[in-house]
Amino acid sequence: MWRAALVAIGIAGSSAWGSPIYGDPPGWCTNHSDMWTARVVTNDPLVGTNPERDTFYGFHRNPGYDDWYGYFYGDFRGRAGDASGWVNLLHEDYPTHYHWNFADAGWAVHGHVKQYIAYYNWTFGGECGLGRFRGMSPPPYMADQYGYPVVDIYVDAVPPQPPRPHVSRVTADSVTFTWDPVVDVGDGAGIDYFVAGMDHYSSWLTINGGSSRLQLLSTAEPRTITQTGMSPVDTACVHVQAFDRVQNATAEQVACSRALATPPMPRWSDLAPRVAANPGMVGLVGLDSWFWLDPAPRPLTIHELDRGTDYAITASPLSAAWDFGDGAAMSLEGPDGYGRSYPLRSPVTHVYEAHNQAGYLVLASVRYEVTWSAEIGGQRVGPYPMGTFTQTAIPLRYAVEQAQPELLHIS
């Protein structure tokens, strides 16, 4: 849809007239001219408004002038041979009101043109003291009071740069999108280049290819927009359009994403420690035996690639449970539950009350908490809980003997 605005601007300035860049009409007379300069801003390169009528008829409803003339400078492109110059627009038979615009001649305006409007008038020719009817020495053309262009026409028919929406955050049940700001792209070239400027963005969400526009909003700046309550099979898409001040709009720019599904649980075979003890080979009845897990449990992260997403899955030890093989057991939270290797004193100790040459089977298991995170668009999101699991340690067959007295010295 073409948009246009006509703005009348009150005259102010010196008696100097004409355009220092483009030149001036070939003649002028201000005795009976009280037209204002005007500014037309549109996205219609054919300029479907009638600026000369809007400016002149605003003051003279029935002017009764004979010939209308125009003088054009700037970036317009029409039929072969068209060029800036003094153009006879039409002949008006009073009181019929005619009009003229660029569309009538099939011209397209690009960026900016200046349009001088003048009138060949036999009635006021003598009052101006110049020329006569159909005379050109010089003709009594009437421009605006100070010789400024009656109409400045600015056309921007080019939409802004297309925005590029992207995923800024993904969770197990939501997706968040945003986009970077863009600038408007103008029309025309050189000194006639004109850019209307950015106006607003229109953005909304769709779910699973549906037609409903969710969270539809117009904003002056980019925004973040989040779809929550998603399942792993849902797909959310953000749609963004950029509009300039004359409402040129980009095509819909779309980015889509699913919520992150929980990745499959890895096999944690590398986490299995072995049970170690001191005394090392044989324990003694009635004396403390120290136990620990070797190596000591620690957090471990495994990376997996699932459906193009890099997942980081981390198992962190929480506690350990011990079974000493003689009916006794214990559980400890945190690092104390994993014992400490000799020569440090271990928090995990046990006193055996009877010997066992075949050995007691000492068992231990470690409970781990598992979380996952994912990398989306260069940003790591998470962690999110994934549950717990228990890893069994490699058991120890621990022989225990009765301590025997030994005579070391007889005096």
Residue percentage of the chain with pLDDT more than 70: 68
| Per-residue pLDDT at 119 | 56
Is 269-401 the same fold as 166-184+195-258?
yes
Cα angle 60, 65, 67 (rounded to 5 degrees) comes to 130
List pLDDT tens digits, range 332-343: 999 999 999 999
- Judged against a pLDDT cut of 50, whether residue 297 lies above it is answered with yes
| Per-residue pLDDT at 254 | 97
Residue percentage of the chain with pLDDT more than 90: 46
- Top-confidence residue, 35 or 381: 381
166 contacts 257 by C-beta, under 8 angstroms: no
List pLDDT tens digits, range 207-259: 999 999 999 999 999 999 999 999 878 999 999 999 999 999 999 999 998 88
- Judged against a pLDDT cut of 60, whether residue 1 lies above it is answered with no
Give the helix/strand (H/E) hosting 48: none
The segment with the largest mean pLDDT, out of 14-23, 167-176, 242-251, is 242-251
Residue 155, both tokens: 């056309």
- Top-confidence residue, 204 or 372: 204
Across the range 39-47, mean pLDDT stands at 88
| Per-residue pLDDT at 70 | 61
For 210, other C-beta atoms within 10 Å of its C-beta total 10
List pLDDT tens digits, range 122-138: 444 444 443 444 444 44
- Judged against a pLDDT cut of 60, whether residue 83 lies above it is answered with no
| Per-residue pLDDT at 6 | 36
Closest of 363, 381, 362 to residue 371, by C-alpha: 381
3-state secondary structure of 55: helix
Q: At residue 127, what is the residue type? A: E
| Per-residue pLDDT at 132 | 42
Q: How far, in Å, CA of 54 to CA of 79, rounded? A: 26
Q: At residue 24, what is the residue type? A: D
| Per-residue pLDDT at 398 | 95
Q: At residue 58, what is the residue type? A: G
What average pLDDT does the structure give for the chain? 78
Which of 41-50, 253-262, 270-279, 374-383 has the lowest average pLDDT? 374-383
Which of 13-22, 55-64, 70-79 has the lowest average pLDDT? 13-22
Across the range 339-366, mean pLDDT stands at 94
Q: At residue 91, what is the residue type? A: H
Of the pLDDT bands very low, low, confident and very high (cuts 50, 70, 90), residue 369 is very high
- Top-confidence residue, 180 or 147: 180
The segment with the largest mean pLDDT, out of 165-174, 302-311, 354-363, is 354-363
- Judged against a pLDDT cut of 70, whether residue 146 lies above it is answered with no
Across the range 379-396, mean pLDDT stands at 89
Name the residue ranges covered by the structural domains of the chain.
4-155, 166-184+195-258, 269-401
Q: How far, in Å, CA of 57 to CA of 51, rounded? A: 10
| Per-residue pLDDT at 266 | 87
- Top-confidence residue, 120 or 171: 171
List pLDDT tens digits, range 99-113: 666 677 677 888 988
- Which one of 3.40.630.30, 3.30.420.40, 2.60.40.10, 3.20.20.150 gives the CATH number of domain 166-184+195-258? 2.60.40.10
| Per-residue pLDDT at 12 | 27
**Residue 126 — φ and ψ, nearest 5°?**
-70, -35
| Per-residue pLDDT at 309 | 81
Task: Count the alpha carbons within 13 Å of 334 in the hemisphere toward its beta carbon.
Answer: 2
This prediction's pTM:
0.60
| Per-residue pLDDT at 258 | 86
Class of domain 269-401: mainly beta
- Judged against a pLDDT cut of 90, whether residue 351 lies above it is answered with yes
